[in-house]
Amino acid sequence: MRLNIVIGGKAGQGPNVLANILGDMIVKNGHYVFSSRDYGSVIRGGHNFNALTILDEPVHSNDSKIDILVALDDKTEEIHKNSLNKNAVILKGSDRNMYYAGRLVKLLGMDFKFLEDELKKLKKFDENLKDAKRGYSDEKQNKIKLHNKKSSNSFSTGTQGVAEGALKSGLDVYYAYPMTPATPLMFELAPKQLENNIMVLELENEIAVIKAAIGSAITGAKSMCGTSGGGFDLMAEALSEAGIIESPLVIYLAQRPGPSTGVPTYTGQGDLDAARHSGHGEFPRLVVAPGDPIESAELTSQCFYFSQKFKMPCIILSDKHLAESFYTMQGKPKLAKSEKTAMLKRYNSYEHDEKGEMVETSDDINKAVEARLKKAERIREEAEKFEMFKIHGKKDSRNIIVSWGSTKGAILDAIKGKDAKFMQILYIEPFSEKIKAELEKAENVIVVENNATAPLAGLIKDKTCVFVEDKNKILRYDGRPFFYDELKEEIERRIR
Amino acid sequence: MTPQDLSTKNPSTWCPGCFNFQILAAVKNAVAKEIAEGKPGKTKDDFAIVTGIGCHAKMFDYVNLSGINTLHGRVLPTCLGMKVGNPNLNVIGFSGDGDAYAEGMEHLIHAARYNSDFKYVIHNNQVFALTVGEPTPVTEIGFADKTTPLGVKLQPLNPIKLMLAAGAGFVARVFADIKQIEYVMQEAFKHKGFAFIEIIQPCIIFHPDAGFKEKTYSLEQAGHNKSDFDAAWKKADEFDYNIAKNIPCGIFYQKEKSTFEDLWPQLQQLKKKGIGWKDVKR
């Protein structure tokens, strides 16, 4: 049984901290937790909440309904009352967040000492412990008995996956300008820069960020920069430069709903085409889309691999839902190893010969353009050696659901036990030539995307001539991720 | 090492008589002298150049050093990134006035603030020359061309005052004359930190009225004290970039302070070891 807990309150009341320690504790007790975060663009006030879904087997999404609601303010109950399941428990009052941690621990039948251990990691230990103890003794129900067995599963975000992948791939310098939801990567990398002996720099804008990243890359450093859609737009000219000068470069692009400022603290997948096409001119690039923290680490390492081996820009396409949600992960990522291949020489943004000297004759331009075309082909061949897509679920099903990125979690949960398989596309660019055959094997192709115009369906049409009917496009574009129960119904309706 | 050793085989495409030839010769002289001294960390491979887009950018084609001919307006963050990548490099950035004062203005202010230890040379002919003569932010009032037939209406920007206000530790302006440039570049090489060197030059095709040598005078000969910020500010006020007669040239202000590379322990370590990140094994 999926157990759904929502913890809500004003920004500043600490629903997020409470959710994180609760999730951590439950994972350590051998359960699986998926925890996502919903917050507005405010520092104090507003309404923020975290949704935790708990299960005895792997879980990767939340439900639209709530079993336990922790309301740190009155507004929380008002906003969520229509989502409550029958017999839902509501914990509310005017106490501080850790009081409710105590009550939840009792309610979930967990040992108090786990909470005490968690509180040791936070500031104001004595105050928090007092609150938590009072909550524990005030709670009289013990509704659920979560078992207590040791687990080595990790509880981490997509952001942490990217950070792990980058550090283990030998990252030297990371540049960024603050922009939600890419900033958490700076939060991961910056505090440990001395320990890891890397540079983490915030510069005056995204143009400076990518230009400095390229400047470092051409001296031989392993260089990376991060941003979200608006900042990525500013980087476009330099992305094109990285293409012509052949600089290794890894770009972390964490999407949020656009266009323009859009909805800064919510999630969406509207930048697939921007990642594929941004930057003028024609040049090879890599675009990968992880769907969980382990894939985030693995694909980040593959971006370093490709960027160094082929001296090219590589883009990790994430979004707010993947970047900021906590996933219970089993096992460790399998990371690609990469060398440092670039060196200081003559680089030229002007069309140039092998020595970096500018050229303008027809023959020389043809030679340079065709060299890039051949390189793109070599990149595609090399990419086929990696897992460019995954097939999950019932392998011989005639129903195939195709998607990319953070929708993975809800789809995996929704197709459990269904006559459906799920093709998760990890490599957006280049696009695997094997995808066409996989799609043609199926009779019913369904696309799931967190956007309004289904760019993946468009890409599939371009690359494979497989046409996805409009009624088979399951799209959500309200800034929220897919919920398990709602998506399950949408899929059931389309399965033949 | 002679200046000729820094030449390339690329045919020159500047207009005959262009003052950029003076700048090219002076830069090659100054760099060749640095390398010829044979000091550690000053071999040819330790130097790198960065150019933007415009007539000045052909410097990249004619100076045989590593580096990058980069985008319009983005010379400064590129130089910064190279210094972060390897703080031991001797990096020289070149820009035109369009590059430095229009497209890349935001980087200029921050470069002064960062004080990364590289040198920045601006070829200021007060016009967009390679795009056939449009006004830039430092073109004088009244200048007219096909894009601005009614004439420039706005007061030009004063880059010297801007750099002083932004905290630059080395602020100089010279005329496009071999001796003046060579001298100020040698001084800039000795200076620890960001050095701003503006070279005023006429564009003989599109802006022949802009700063001629006869219209300049030497700050040094006039007894200017380059460590006096207030005096530098007053001198900077003497030329407002409209057509003028008495243009002060030389080093307006010089004061050393902690460089960008001094402020991060990670970069200090690289400096101590004489390496860049490329040679850091993980």
How many other CB atoms are there within 10 angstroms of residue A137's CB atom?
12
The rounded mean pLDDT for chain A is: 97
User: If you write DSSP's letter for every residue of B181-207 in order, what string do you get?
Assistant: HHHHHHHHHHSSS-EEEEEE--BTTTB
CB contact under 8 A, B277 and A217: no
- Partners of residue A350 in chain B, C-beta under 8 Å: 69
- Residue A10 near residue A46 (C-beta atoms within 8 A): yes
* B48 lies in some domain: yes
Which SS3 state, helix, strand or coil, does residue A430 take? coil
* B276 lies in some domain: no
Mean pLDDT (whole number) for B68-84: 98
CA distance B48 to B46: 7
Model confidence at B209, pLDDT cuts 50, 70, 90, reads: confident
Q: Which pTM does this prediction carry?
A: 0.97
**Which residues 6+ apart lie within 8 Å of A370 measured at CB?**
none
CATH class, range A3-151: alpha beta
ipTM of the complex: 0.98
User: CA of A173: which chain B residue's CA is closest?
Assistant: B85
Q: What pLDDT is recorded for position A173?
A: 98
* B278 lies in some domain: no
User: CA of A169: which chain B residue's CA is closest?
Assistant: B282
Q: What pLDDT is recorded for position A146?
A: 84
**Which residues 6+ apart lie within 8 Å of A454 measured at CB?**
A447, A468, A473, A475
Model confidence at B166, pLDDT cuts 50, 70, 90, reads: very high
**Residues in chain A where the model's pLDDT stays below 70:** none
- Residue A310 near residue A378 (C-beta atoms within 8 A): yes
Which SS3 state, helix, strand or coil, does residue A385 take? coil
- Partners of residue B74 in chain A, C-beta under 8 Å: 207, 211, 238
Torsion sign over Cα B170, B176, B178, B179: negative
- Partners of residue A279 in chain B, C-beta under 8 Å: none
CATH class, range A156-383: alpha beta
Taking Cα atoms as reference points, which of A75, A74, A65, A139 lies closest to residue A101?
A: A139
C-alpha distances out from residue A181 to A47, A458, A475, Å? 18, 26, 21
CB contact under 8 A, A220 and B86: yes
> Any idea how long chain A is?
496
Taking Cα atoms as reference points, which of A417, A421, A415, A418 lies closest to residue A396?
A: A421
Residue ranges of chain B whose CB lies within 8 Å of a chain A CB: 8, 10, 45, 48, 50, 60-61, 65-71, 74, 76-86, 89, 106-107, 110, 264-267, 269, 276-280, 282
Taking Cα atoms as reference points, which of A175, A172, A306, A316 lies closest to residue A246?
A: A306
Residue given tokens 């983005």 in the structure block = B74
- Partners of residue B266 in chain A, C-beta under 8 Å: 193-194, 197-199
Chain A interface mutation, best of B114, B272, B282, highest count of A Cβ atoms under 10 Å: B282
- Partners of residue A164 in chain B, C-beta under 8 Å: none
- Partners of residue A358 in chain B, C-beta under 8 Å: 10, 61, 69
User: If you write DSSP's letter for every residue of chain B in order, what string do you get?
Assistant: --GGGGB-SPPP-SPTT-THHHHHHHHHHHHHHHHHTT-TT-SGGGEEEEE-SSGGGHHHHHB--EEEE--TT-HHHHHHHHHHH-TT-EEEEEEEHHIIIIITHHHHHHHHHH--S-EEEEEE-SSBTTTTSB--TTPPTT---SS-TT---SPPP-HHHHHHHHT-SEEEEEES-HHHHHHHHHHHHHSSS-EEEEEE--BTTTBTTS--GGGEEETTTTT--TT-HHHHHHHHTT--SSS-S-EEEEEEEE-----HHHH-HHHHHHHHHT--GGG---
CB burial class (10 A; 0-12, 13-18, 19+) of residue A320? buried
User: CA of B49: which chain A residue's CA is closest?
Assistant: A346
Query: Alpha helices of A198-288 — where are they, by DSSP H?
Result: 206-217, 229-245, 272-277
Find the CB nearest A208 among B50, B83, B107. Answer: B107
Taking Cα atoms as reference points, which of A258, A322, A267 lies closest to residue A290?
A: A322
How many contacts, defined by CB atoms under 8 Å, are there between A and B? Answer: 136
C-alpha distances out from residue A76 to A19, A90, A91, A371, B154, Å? 15, 10, 11, 59, 56
- Residue A210 near residue A251 (C-beta atoms within 8 A): yes
CA distance A2 to A484: 10
* B15 lies in some domain: no
* B188 lies in some domain: yes
Residue A242, CB half-sphere, CA atoms under 13 Å: how many?
Answer: 37
How many Å lie between the alpha carbon of A305 and the closest alpha carbon of chain B?
Answer: 15
- Residue A153 pairs in a beta bridge with none
Q: What pLDDT is recorded for position A143?
A: 75
CA distance B236 to B6: 34
The domain in which residue B208 lies consists of 25-271
Mean pLDDT (whole number) for B147-176: 98
Q: What is the pLDDT of residues A99-119, one digit of tens each?
A: 999 999 999 999 999 999 999
C-alpha distances out from residue A150 to A25, A153, A154, A328, A354, Å? 11, 9, 12, 14, 58
Do domains A3-151 and A156-383 share one topology? The answer is no
Which SS3 state, helix, strand or coil, does residue A228 take? coil
Amino acid at position B169, single letter: G
**Which residues 6+ apart lie within 8 Å of A109 measured at CB?**
A142, A143, A144, A145, A146
Peptide bond into A248 cis (omega under 30): no
- Residue B266 near residue A189 (C-beta atoms within 8 A): no
* B215 lies in some domain: yes
Under CATH, which architecture does the A389-494 domain have? Answer: 3-Layer(aba) Sandwich (3.40)
- Could you tell me whether strands B66-69 and A346-348 are parallel, antiparallel, or unpaired per DSSP bridges? parallel
CB contact under 8 A, A344 and B86: yes
Ordered by start, the domain boundaries in chain A are 3-151, 156-383, 389-494
CB contact under 8 A, B61 and A357: yes
CA distance B57 to B72: 9
CATH of the domain at B225: 3.40.50.970
> ∠ CA A255-A202-A18 to the nearest 5 degrees?
60
Q: What pLDDT is recorded for position B281?
A: 94
Mean pLDDT (whole number) for B83-88: 98
CA distance B123 to B120: 10
Torsion sign over Cα A168, A169, A172, A178: negative
CA distance A404 to A14: 32
- Could you tell me whether strands A313-319 and A286-288 are parallel, antiparallel, or unpaired per DSSP bridges? parallel
User: CA of B8: which chain A residue's CA is closest?
Assistant: A357
Domains held by chain B: number: 1
Chain B interface mutation, best of A344, A355, A357, A358, highest count of B Cβ atoms under 10 Å: A344
Q: What is the DSSP letter of A182?
A: T
Peptide bond into A430 cis (omega under 30): yes
C-alpha distances out from residue B65 to A175, A346, B44, B69, B74, Å? 26, 7, 7, 11, 19
Peptide bond into A313 cis (omega under 30): no
Q: What pLDDT is recorded for position A144?
A: 82
Model confidence at B245, pLDDT cuts 50, 70, 90, reads: confident
Find the CB nearest B85 among A216, A241, A348. Answer: A216
Task: Quote the distance between the C-alpha of residue A275 and its chain's center.
Answer: 15
First to last CA, chain A: 27
CB contact under 8 A, A219 and B107: no
- Could you tell me whether strands A154-157 and A84-92 are parallel, antiparallel, or unpaired per DSSP bridges? unpaired
User: If you write DSSP's letter for every residue of A284-333 in order, what string do you get?
Assistant: --EEE---SHHHHHHHHHHHHHHHHHHT-EEEEEEEHHHHH-EEEE-S--
CA distance A347 to A311: 12
Model confidence at B210, pLDDT cuts 50, 70, 90, reads: confident
Taking Cα atoms as reference points, which of A414, A417, A474, A468 lies closest to residue A445?
A: A468
Taking Cα atoms as reference points, which of A16, A129, A145 lies closest to residue A70?
A: A16
Find the CB nearest A220 among B85, B110, B269. Answer: B85
Q: Among A42-46, B22-26, B211-215, B273-277, which stretch is predicted with the lowest mean pLDDT?
A: B211-215
Q: What pLDDT is recorded for position A135?
A: 97
Greatest Cα pair distance in chain B? 61
Please check the confidence at residue B211 and state whether its pLDDT lies above 80: no
- Partners of residue B43 in chain A, C-beta under 8 Å: none
Q: What pLDDT is recorded for position A148?
A: 79
CA distance A222 to A62: 37
First to last CA, chain B: 36
